[in-house]
Structure 1
């Protein structure tokens, strides 16, 4: 880090993995290898071509047809500057050079209605090089064309999927498609070394050389062949940078605005904290000077940064005796500050010699005391930067909403004397607050998931904002496709954990694996580590079609509503039609399309671990148990076999903790009671529309005798005028639901909130946002404990009306108490009896309880459509 540099990020040099020092803007980052790389330690390859003047991109297929030229641009034949198109009053145009003022009219060329029709010179030497490169690209294009043809067949989306027994014909079609012959990739012969540029081209003044000399005119190609004509502008090749270790894509340069959405640019500034030098006066030799640094976090995660000044006896380095400093920076797009409980320093006591002067959001300023040893501007400040992305939690641990459920399940299994190992994927950067950490005695391996296309992260933000808006058919399809690609990428990264870790897991000799039923990836993970038994587990009370069908239980759409629909078990004729289309849409949890399952299966079969003929679809039929996370009484009545069962609540805590003093003070101010308002952990409340916020604020203001505890991640100035509205970034919801002063819960319809309200006997007002929250609202209304708000037509009047109805009508409270007593009235006091019994069944070698005969029936056979067809055909024949 140079001391005399101007205020810029390039004043700081970073050490690359190859040992060289590069500027911040020149570093790339490999998400697969977890290493920074410069252009010197990357592999370059030809991507596409573009015009250096208008930046129009041309694909490799257009390379030959355009002769590597830009049809829009021409160069001056005298000074080789870019020619400007001048228009006339007659809707015609001509070329003019703004450097030497040459025009096409000087060569006797008439004005044209289309500037592309102007003749131009051909450079024979350039044409020969283009022709040889074109032949090479033709061979590559032929290889790509054959590969894409095979890939298009292999990745053909079969929306009917295995539900209609078309997978076998699909597999047979793949076997018939093979390469006719082995493709040989042509080798590229390196050209001669590029000569060095004469320094005079850079050092000498060029202002006097705008007008060409006589020698330049004589040397002008084509001067003796005719009049001067515009020169075509040749395209420049665009490079693609790849990692040398694993050939991973690092940078694909894009210049066209129309193709910016396809840009892949893994630069260092999306991962590495930026450090900027801010000059503060003059630097004096052998005296202590102030060196101001500004550190900025441009990533999408909260980052813990540690700066360690290093000492060096070399005279070109400055002296610095300041201690190490460690601090936290919020994510770049965070609209709120870090919670006070999420400490700024590991050491809370600030000392006078602490270099940190300020920290605000994603920026921090540090003032170091340095002493230059020699005169001049070549003094360097040597410093090591340690940083790590983290997810905020009130106890400093990182967590994600679904991981909390995994922790509770692991805690329960550990209490039942099982040895538990967690294989966790960390993605989406969803911030969750909960006091539950990783259970004691449970080992865990966390796989950080990074997406090659950085727009996927933006897609997640769009998905979170969509929760508060209208979800039309296109939105459902779009989110399904986005999640499908992300699940494929996540599964592949989960499998690529390294041979050493895989060998360690294999040596553990696990008896059984428990995986979430979103897709087939848990089957691939289990097979990779030689675990032959697997149990499916769900997050909510819904059983989705693909898992149930593989276990031999097919759906009856007339009485069983789809998990993503908003219907109860009693449907009208129109609702039954819509519900049937939902089941035929092949959309499951969070709009995941079922063709994801086929692509996951195809991805796994390409891996070297796949050695037998048994694919993931076959393995899914061997899963004996499916645990439904929830209480059986809260779901709509439905016949289930022995292998599909509700496991009740997991991870119960017998001891109750005291509430924080801040919340206790709020409860004491409540005259009639408290009202909780929380929209869960997945939805980002900073995306709430202004109309929705205004409706709740004004609705809450009409109940001053109740204290409102609102979990909100940003400040709302409008709420300050009402003393009964309390904005909190975290709520101990489980403990508050058991408090006797809790009179109402306003939530989004997530299953955890629904379950807690049912167990504690608290009525609810639900505002479903997405996924299965709509059907959870129907379940709550079925018991008479809930009112439902529409997120699209919310007004203060509707909020106050629903609150007034639930608070003043005693029937809601009575029904909630009855539901609580019903859930607590069980044949056995052992909460984990079913869980313990089904695990024993899962490890049994004689799964006689499985619906194996039903698994062998296809869609037509299961619903007797073949027999109905024969009967209808016989009836038609006899009636003739």
Structure 2
């Protein structure tokens, strides 16, 4: 079962030239190409809190500074804080008489609430934060000591942005512009009329601008106790804790304050070439389903390394690979050298023929698909040169390997496979369901200076049959294609010759 823990041993070559494991790439059904994280556009669908699952639109998230108003995180270990209840302290008063005690009704016990971390046992009482009588909030927030300076700088840059916007629009249009165009910069019309002019401002208005920062050579002197007082590391904050709160950067643990939990986001990925979604989650944060999920391990056969004999220069080693068909259609797999062209071919009754580059985007220019609202220019970039070079020669078989479609019920069927494939006994070692183990021979290169203990990499081109079920005006029926993809495998380290 060692192949279950090898995510980076088998890497697929993306259309841009980068190499990624099959779990980190996508397959565009319209372009028939493999796309990695650099070949897709990332779009934010929704923001949500991972603790209370509050879902807010993007404008409100910006107003709240991308932080949840109800949830807090521990300043020490950054885990979510929970609200704990405790009995309110009883104030010391006079001793009433027995008759007065009987006549008065017993008041209900009062409770106070505080924040506590169940992981590191940090509480808000450790930081000196007073307890609250309401469990839903009201916790005092630590103010930024540089808040006035930050607000002044933000207001100043809004004015600069409005002026640049005005100058750029004046070059395009000659008619007079109104001041209502600056509302998008979150500025009122009165402020715009006051400060949006291009002429120099009067001396009375120049005072509104923030003063420029001036470097000072004066440095605060160290306390004399720093050399004599013993150092307690448990009371000093770590670098991660200080960078988590850059506005304060507390030096001691008792100066830390709970911070609001940041929002997470659900994002969708869109192909840069055809602008179709390859991954789109549900809008609701409680849902873990996907509207569109074109991950590569759902469409491309997965290759895993089962075992490999010790690699020695001049000797042939046996390599066992496990191939799995994740699709609902039967596929044929053939292995070719790395020098083979990876142009896709279509399977017809007359044979196979290459697919034109213009026809590869099966759904881009079809009239039955709605056009994109914001049409972008097609991104065509030359693939990056591969820096990987195989250090061993792999002997590839000439026979075809047939894998049946995926059947979830076959995983629990112990009666045996009902498929009768005429497999080559020298190639196929084991078969069950949509999986098969094949045997290959690997021989490290002798002409290269390969040091002992160096990782050996081999590569080949895998051709697999793919059935495209997208219905267009050109192809109303499922189209059978033969696609090719390059793979690089890290099969182990070189051992001694003896």
Counterpart in 2 of 1:358?
430
3-state DSSP of counterpart to 2:297:
helix
3-state DSSP of counterpart to 1:381:
strand
Q: Report whether the alignment pairs 1:221 with 2:248.
A: yes
- Indicate which of 288, 292, 301 corresponds to 2:320: 292
Counterpart in 1 of 2:271?
243
Higher RCO structure, 1 or 2 (CA under 8 Å, sep 6+): 2
Structure 1 residues 50 and 211 mapped into 2: Cα distance closer, same or farther (>3 Å)? farther
- Contact 1:308–1:325 (8 Å) recurs in 2: no
CA distance in 2, matches of 1:54, 1:283: 54
TM-score (norm 2): 0.52
1:245 Cα offset (Å)? 1.0
CA distance in 2, matches of 1:388, 1:126: 63
Counterpart in 1 of 2:236?
212
- Indicate which of 465, 469, 472 corresponds to 1:388: 465
- Contact 2:309–2:319 (8 Å) recurs in 1: no
Q: CA RMSD in A?
A: 4.6
Map 1:780-859 onto structure 2 (within 5 A). Answer: none
1:220 Cα offset (Å)? 6.6
Q: Report whether the alignment pairs 1:69 with 2:83.
A: no
Structure 1 residues 297 and 249 mapped into 2: Cα distance closer, same or farther (>3 Å)? same
Q: Report whether the alignment pairs 1:324 with 2:398.
A: yes
1:16 Cα offset (Å)? 0.8
CA distance in 2, matches of 1:126, 1:389: 60
Structure 1 residues 371 and 255 mapped into 2: Cα distance closer, same or farther (>3 Å)? farther
1:363 Cα offset (Å)? 0.8
- Indicate which of 80, 84, 87 corresponds to 2:84: 87
1:399-426 residue CA offsets vs partner (Å, 9 max, x unmatched): xxxxxxxxxxxxxxxxxxxxxxx97623
Unmatched segments (≥5 aa) in structure 2: 88-110, 159-183, 186-231, 341-387, 411-415, 482-498
1:388 Cα offset (Å)? 1.2
Counterpart in 2 of 1:103?
123
- Contact 1:304–1:390 (8 Å) recurs in 2: no
Structure 1 residues 242 and 81 mapped into 2: Cα distance closer, same or farther (>3 Å)? same
Map 1:215-614 onto structure 2 (within 5 A). Answer: 221=248, 229-252=257-280, 258-280=286-308, 282-308=310-336, 310=338, 316-333=390-407, 335=409, 340=419, 344=421, 348=422, 350-351=423-424, 354-373=426-445, 374=450, 375-389=452-466, 425-426=476-477, 446=479
CA distance in 1, matches of 2:286, 2:405: 29
CA distance in 2, matches of 1:211, 1:263: 49
- Indicate which of 12, 15, 22 corresponds to 2:13: 15
CA distance in 1, matches of 2:112, 2:399: 67
Greater percentage in strand: 2
Structure 1 residues 360 and 423 mapped into 2: Cα distance closer, same or farther (>3 Å)? same
CA distance in 2, matches of 1:245, 1:378: 36
1:75 Cα offset (Å)? 2.5
- Contact 1:9–1:275 (8 Å) recurs in 2: no
Structure 1 residues 14 and 121 mapped into 2: Cα distance closer, same or farther (>3 Å)? same
CA distance in 1, matches of 2:32, 2:322: 25
Map 1:642-653 onto structure 2 (within 5 A). Answer: none
- Contact 1:238–1:253 (8 Å) recurs in 2: yes
CA distance in 1, matches of 2:60, 2:393: 58
3-state DSSP of counterpart to 1:10:
coil
1:12 Cα offset (Å)? 0.8
1:306-361 residue CA offsets vs partner (Å, 9 max, x unmatched): 2335589x984212224234222222235468865xx63xxx4x555x32212211
Structure 1 residues 87 and 380 mapped into 2: Cα distance closer, same or farther (>3 Å)? same
1:92-128 residue CA offsets vs partner (Å, 9 max, x unmatched): 6422346664311121320454254323336659997
Counterpart in 2 of 1:37?
35
Structure 1 residues 322 and 219 mapped into 2: Cα distance closer, same or farther (>3 Å)? closer
Structure 1 residues 68 and 325 mapped into 2: Cα distance closer, same or farther (>3 Å)? same
3-state DSSP of counterpart to 1:40:
coil
Structure 1 residues 256 and 127 mapped into 2: Cα distance closer, same or farther (>3 Å)? farther
3-state DSSP of counterpart to 2:305:
strand
3-state DSSP of counterpart to 1:384:
strand
Question: May I ask how many residue pairs the two structures share in their alignment?
Answer: 317
1:7 Cα offset (Å)? 4.4
3-state DSSP of counterpart to 1:32:
coil
1:289 Cα offset (Å)? 1.8
1:17 Cα offset (Å)? 0.9
CA distance in 2, matches of 1:112, 1:252: 43
Counterpart in 2 of 1:120?
141
1:86 Cα offset (Å)? 4.9
